[in-house]
Amino acid sequence: MSSVIVGDLRLEVRASNRRTTLQLTVDRGGELIVFAPTDCDASALHRFVRAKRLWIYKKLAEQEALAHPVATKEYVSGEGFPYLGRSYRLLLVEEQQPVPVKLESGRLKMRRSAAINGRAHMVDWYTVRAQPWLSERAERIAARVGVTPSGIHVQDLGYRWGSCSRGERLNFHWKTILLPPRIAEYVVAHELVHIRTPHHTLEFWEKLERAMPDYSARKAWLAGHGAVATAI
């Protein structure tokens, strides 16, 4: 039994003479295990894990969500909703023009008639707020990384916080705007480094550390608290 590190992933390797193929599992504790033939070389193992990394991240995110169940939000006055790391109480109002949701005087206000589709309206509100905030942070941090993204796009990315598309365009989950600012900035920096370094190699983490020396603490907070902090 041994272990291998591929980018930011540490995996336990269990080799067997009876195996002819590679297999990867994520156990209940979140540990990653690779079952491999005894004669499997390191380069083949690394290629296999890199090819599976998106599946791994998805499974780890699913386990985090299951480990930290959260109550479903209710769109009633007094319910708390996160925004940039703070909780804002919702207040339903009879009349509000021209938008169904706004942040005013420290309260999130929603038109009462919109509450039946409350989550959709909140997602729209978060998405609109996220676009300029993330664009401004990306412009600021890009100078440290030494890159220039071609554009910023906010959408639902499932279990991913961000991605880097062809053409150097960055995509961010709308939930990023719910995180504390320093954690959202880590997500931005992470994707900016991907413009020049697509994979989570040692070079990638070294570049990220130069741009954000305390990235590992921010990364750990996101892994441990991100799902709960952004639940709506």
Q: Is the dihedral of CA 192, 198, 203, 205 positive or negative?
A: positive
What is the pLDDT confidence band of residue 216, given thresholds at 50, 70 and 90?
Answer: confident
Kindly state the percentage of the chain with pLDDT values over 70. Answer: 94
pLDDT value of position 28: 62
> What confidence tens digit (pLDDT) does each residue in 55-70 have?
888 777 777 665 666 6
> How high does pLDDT run on average in the chain?
89
Indicate the residue type of 172: F
Domain 117-229, CATH: 3.30.2010.10
pLDDT value of position 65: 64
> What confidence tens digit (pLDDT) does each residue in 70-89 have?
667 999 999 999 999 999 99
Distance CA 39, CA 89 (A): 59
Distance CA 12, CA 216 (A): 22
> What confidence tens digit (pLDDT) does each residue in 119-134 have?
999 999 999 999 999 9
Q: Is the pTM of this model over 0.85?
A: no
> What confidence tens digit (pLDDT) does each residue in 188-208 have?
999 999 999 988 777 888 999
Write 126-129 long-range contacts (CB < 8 A, 24+). Answer: 126/83, 126/174, 126/175, 126/177, 126/178, 127/154, 127/155, 127/174, 129/83, 129/177
pLDDT value of position 68: 61
Report the helix count and the strand count for the chain, using DSSP H and E: 6, 11
pLDDT higher than threshold 70 for residue 95: yes
Kindly state the percentage of the chain with pLDDT values over 90. Answer: 53
pLDDT value of position 191: 96
- Ranges in the chain annotated CATH 3.30.2010.10: 117-229
* Average pLDDT score over residue span 20-36: 82
Phi-psi category of residue 146: left, alpha or beta, with phi > 0 → left and psi -120 to 50 → alpha:
left
